[in-house]
Amino acid sequence: MRIALDAMGGDKAPAETVKGAVAAAKTLGIEVLLVGRREEIETELSKHKTAGLPLRVIDAPDVIDMGEPPAQAVRRKPNSSLVIATQLSTGEADAMVSAGNSGAAMAACLFKMGRIEGIERPAIAGLIPTFHGRVLVIDIGANTECRPDNLLQFAIMGSIYMQKVCRVTEPRVALLSNGEEDTKGTALVKETHKLLRSAPVLFTGNIEAKDVPFNTADVVVTDGFTGNILLKMGEGVVSMMTMLIKQELSRDILTKLASAPLIPAFDRIKSRLDYAEYGGAPLLGVNGVGIIAHGRSDAKAVRNAIRAAKHAVEEGTVEAIKSMVKASAPAANK
Amino acid sequence: MRIALDAMGGDKAPAETVKGAVAAAKTLGIEVLLVGRREEIETELSKHKTAGLPLRVIDAPDVIDMGEPPAQAVRRKPNSSLVIATQLSTGEADAMVSAGNSGAAMAACLFKMGRIEGIERPAIAGLIPTFHGRVLVIDIGANTECRPDNLLQFAIMGSIYMQKVCRVTEPRVALLSNGEEDTKGTALVKETHKLLRSAPVLFTGNIEAKDVPFNTADVVVTDGFTGNILLKMGEGVVSMMTMLIKQELSRDILTKLASAPLIPAFDRIKSRLDYAEYGGAPLLGVNGVGIIAHGRSDAKAVRNAIRAAKHAVEEGTVEAIKSMVKASAPAANK
């Protein structure tokens, strides 16, 4: 298997992307194509032991910046690392990973891979850490405004991903709302609730945001605006509490000394809540595997995003979505 | 000053509501009218030292349950503790506090107090704990679907509340979105952004959910659906992390022993993130002071909700909103 990595994408690229690619090539049994400015990448590669590793540099002179307008950037920079990596994933490689401009990564996947027939709106599915593990939220930002049938397809795609890639036998799918009762929510939520009742997923009803961190569902379905708020609030509160704990535990020298033996326990907490643990977020509904990693990704996050891409290819998520969409087409058009 | 308390409202009523009322009467220099089933309230009162305290029981035979449909319950139970407490607040008392069915509390305030002229949709404003203190989110659940001019009024009312009750000299008002750029967000967010540019508040632009816990704004404006997701996700993540820390620190006897001296530090963290600290959430835009407290409120939360009611009355928030709405009417109709 071959994964094309946008080596120039992300706040810490190319140092961390290259380091992550080296780790992936070493441990995952796949070849990584490092796409970007050859010289910069080779300089980074020279800092690691890469002899015999399945790594190859593909030159791409242009870079799409974080702030650029996505669709425009993709059109104007056909020789950017992102666009070339995505192009490669439709032929020579099996998947694409980028930690760069996420809007542009989405646009590149849409343009180069195309949508799966029958899927109107591809969506980004993000895993968020919870008390017992993780939960998949779909959509976390691809579609600001949605219709009920879009959310129905998100539910189906999310369920397949959790089953195939995260190996949850029968994923419980819940609809995000401001109350558990069927009658709660916006018009969008109420209509989607009705569609999900007859959808080919294990629909468990509405879920309130306060229950999301406690794994009462495996897949949380929502529009991209609300999903973004949910995901980012989670991220914000985790980092706020982490800072608060650090501040309180370093308040005076006695507290500092007392807390030293607890460092392993705090490290375990940190790793249980680490967003980097889960790698990137797949764009589901496109005709290929595209993984969008966090802009702040370090080497570990990049390596894990490559691992997510590998699993998605191995488990045939795209094919599974294709056949599920075909089978559920009448439901989607109800 | 006199505050009418729905003594039967809340998961822990009447034990905790009565206890909270006793604390309020003792410390806040106000009279509390305890509205509800006289016998039950008097049984609870007998457990405390109440001699000479400004407390009075007002009999109300009916109780509205947590699960009852709000508007219907308010209409059908005119002799419920909630409805009588609200009725009292429009005459004999200056404000109403309830930890009961929040939809019903809202409906009772709307029916009995009425809206302030010019305010189309009253909204619930909730304080959430953050790294440096707290931030006011408006709306957190009164209005599932909103128009841009509703959000404009939420911004004005929230700004006045933060100024008057929380004593923030010039509250920074931000609009919740999925990106900081003006161009991000749903159609509702984009339209509201334009209105807020010329609103009589210190508008600082869009805010992402991840920044909400770090006090980059004092007031966060959003519709009631999204506000509920934001607030509840914050609550959920705080309790998830608290449980995670407890679990990791009691993993083995050595960790347990090592963490004992840190209990004061953890208590400080807990109190900094304690939702009960802030008391209830005011329903802003009605012609009176109505404070809706959390259903899980304990005595401390009830006492603090009564304190919030006292401050809102003292500082004349209703009058301030009235004159501000009059002054900004042309902006609202743009």
Chain B nearest CA to A268, separation (Å): 8
Find which of A188, A240, A247, A273 to mutate to test the B interface (most B CBs within 10 Å of its CB).
A240
| Residue in A239, A251, A265 closest to B249 by CB | A265
pLDDT at B40: 98
In chain B, residues with a C-beta closer than 8 Å to the C-beta of A224 are 178
Which sign does the torsion angle of CA A74, A79, A81, A84 carry?
positive
The pLDDT mean for chain B works out to 93
What is the value of pTM for the model shown? Answer: 0.92
Q: What CA–CA distance (Å, rounded) separates A141 from A231? A: 10
Mean pLDDT along residues B193-220: 96
pLDDT over 80 (residue B328): no
Q: Specify the amino acid at residue B177.
A: S
- A262, B266: Cβ pair inside 8 Å? no
pLDDT over 60 (residue A334): no
pLDDT over 50 (residue A39): yes
For B272, nearest residue in chain A (alpha carbons): A244
Q: What CA–CA distance (Å, rounded) separates A43 from B252? A: 47
Phi, psi for A308 (deg, rounded to 5): -60, -40
Q: How many CB atoms lie within 10 A of CB B114?
A: 13
Q: How do B123-129 and B95-98 pair as beta strands? A: unpaired
Highest mean pLDDT among A255-269, B36-50, B291-305: B36-50
Question: What interhelical angle do A299-314 and A148-164 show, nearest 10?
Answer: 90
pLDDT at B311: 94
Q: What CA–CA distance (Å, rounded) separates A177 from A163? A: 24
Hey, what are A94's tokens? 């099996």
In chain B, residues with a C-beta closer than 8 Å to the C-beta of A230 are 209, 229, 233
Half-sphere exposure of B58 (CA within 13 A, CB side): 24
Please report the domains of chain B, with CATH numbers, ordered by start residue.
2-119+285-314 (3.40.718.10), 123-246+260-274 (3.40.718.10)
- B238, A237: Cβ pair inside 8 Å? yes
- A176, B259: Cβ pair inside 8 Å? no
Query: pLDDT for B102-115, tens place per residue?
Result: 899 999 999 999 99
Q: What CA–CA distance (Å, rounded) separates A66 from A71? A: 13
pLDDT over 80 (residue A330): no
* % of chain B at pLDDT higher than 90: 78
CA separation (Å) from B146 to A184, A208, A306, B35, B125? 15, 20, 41, 34, 15
- A209, B233: Cβ pair inside 8 Å? yes
Mean pLDDT along residues A158-170: 93
Chain B nearest CA to A271, separation (Å): 11
Characterise A32 by phi-psi region: left (phi > 0), alpha (psi -120 to 50), beta (else): beta
pLDDT at B15: 97
| Residue in B208, B233, B248 closest to A265 by CB | B248
- B210, A261: Cβ pair inside 8 Å? no
pLDDT at A85: 98
CB contact burial A22-59 (16+ within 10 A = b; e otherwise): bbbbbebebbbbbbbbeebbeebbeebeeeebbbebbe
Question: What interhelical angle do A102-113 and A81-88 show, nearest 10?
Answer: 40
**ω into A122 cis (within 30 of 0):** no
Q: Under a CB-based contact definition with an 8 Å cutoff, are residues B131 and B214 in contact? A: yes
Q: How many CB atoms lie within 10 A of CB A169?
A: 8
Query: Within A77-179, where are the H helices?
Result: 81-88, 102-113, 148-164
Mean pLDDT along residues A136-165: 95
H/E element, A134: strand A134-138
In chain A, residues with a C-beta closer than 8 Å to the C-beta of B272 are 244
Q: Under a CB-based contact definition with an 8 Å cutoff, are residues A287 and A92 in contact? A: no
Length of chain A, in residues: 334
| Residue in A228, A229, A272 closest to B244 by CB | A272
| Residue in A145, A208, A248 closest to B232 by CB | A208
- B185, A255: Cβ pair inside 8 Å? no
Chain A nearest CA to B158, separation (Å): 20
pLDDT band at B158 (very low <50, low <70, confident <90, very high): very high
Q: What CA–CA distance (Å, rounded) separates B180 from B217? A: 13
CA separation (Å) from A206 to A116, A289, B169, B237? 28, 29, 40, 18
Which sign does the torsion angle of CA B326, B327, B328, B332 carry?
positive
Hey, what are B141's tokens? 């659940």
pLDDT at A273: 84
Long-range pairs of A188-191 with CB within 8 A, sequence gap ≥ 24: A188/A146, A188/A147, A188/A148, A188/A151, A188/A223, A189/B225, A191/A148
Q: How many CB atoms lie within 10 A of CB B182?
A: 15
Chain A nearest CA to B155, separation (Å): 19
The contacts of residue B46 (CB under 8 Å, 6+ apart) are: none
Hey, what are B205's tokens? 């632009």
pLDDT band at A276 (very low <50, low <70, confident <90, very high): low
Find which of B241, B246, B266, B268 to mutate to test the A interface (most A CBs within 10 Å of its CB).
B241
Find which of A135, A237, A245, A270 to mutate to test the B interface (most B CBs within 10 Å of its CB).
A237
Query: pLDDT for A190-221, tens place per residue?
Result: 999 999 999 999 999 999 999 999 989 999 99
Question: What interhelical angle do B148-164 and B317-327 show, nearest 10?
Answer: 140
Helix (H, G, I), strand (E, B) or coil at B4: strand
Identify the residue whose tokens are 């945001």. A209
pLDDT over 70 (residue B329): no
pLDDT over 90 (residue B279): no
pLDDT at A275: 66
Mean pLDDT along residues B34-45: 98
Mean pLDDT along residues B322-327: 86
